[in-house]
Amino acid sequence: MSELTTVARPYAKAAFDFALEQGALDKWADMLEFAAVVAKDETMASFLSSSSTVEKTSEVFIGVCGDELDDSAENFIKVLAENQRLPALSAVSELYRTFRADYEKEVVVDVKSAVKLLKAQQTALSKALEKRLQRKIKLNCSVDKSILGGLVIEAGDTVIDGTLRGKLDRLAYALQS
């Protein structure tokens, strides 16, 4: 996957820069996400791996996407097709979302807990994380029955393990040292 990310990064950056310049961040996010879904389709994936011409590949791909793409996005698809990078569209879309989140100073935080968090708890957690991470927070809360108590908070590369199991493991490690 890292190779695909390396291939996709310049295309995602170019798409992001263009969308930012045009003031169309939402529109480009939707178009890239739609194109990524099309590229992931089994039939389309097998077509993309076939040895058809660049013109035919881009024509079919754009035809399948229909009115979901504007002229600029169609040109973007043609460039990807010319460089045989259409299979990397899902990585391009993902990286685009990352560039956008960084630009908007926003982070998606996954929170796993033993029980469903109340709205007041989610609000308090969101405010505390905004202060700590200095970004706007979007919480994705889920219940994990393997957690006895506490929370596991994941924000990008940052993981905060506030579970009872995590605290006991840290205590045991400290006592062994």
Query: Apex CA 166: angle with CA 155 and CA 170, to 5°?
Result: 115
Delimit the domains of the chain by residue range.
2-102, 105-176
What does the pLDDT profile of the chain (177 residues) look like in tens digits?
467 778 889 999 999 999 999 988 999 999 999 999 988 888 888 887 776 787 888 888 888 888 888 889 889 989 988 888 888 889 999 999 889 988 888 888 999 999 999 999 999 999 999 998 888 888 999 999 999 889 999 987 889 999 999 899 999 999 998
- Do domains 2-102 and 105-176 share one topology? The answer is no
How many whole angstroms separate alpha carbon 113 and alpha carbon 28? 34
Give whole-number Cα distances, 142 to 110, 146, 153, in Å.
8, 12, 11
Angular region, 105: left φ>0, alpha ψ -120 to 50, beta rest:
left
CATH class of this structure's domain 105-176: alpha beta
Give the class (CATH, top level) of 2-102. mainly alpha
Bridge partner residues of 154 (DSSP) = 110, 159
SS3 of residue 57 by DSSP: helix
Rounded Cα–Cα distance for residues 147 and 36 (Å): 35
105 in Cβ contact with 130 (< 8 Å): no
The two beta strands, 106-113 and 136-143, are: parallel
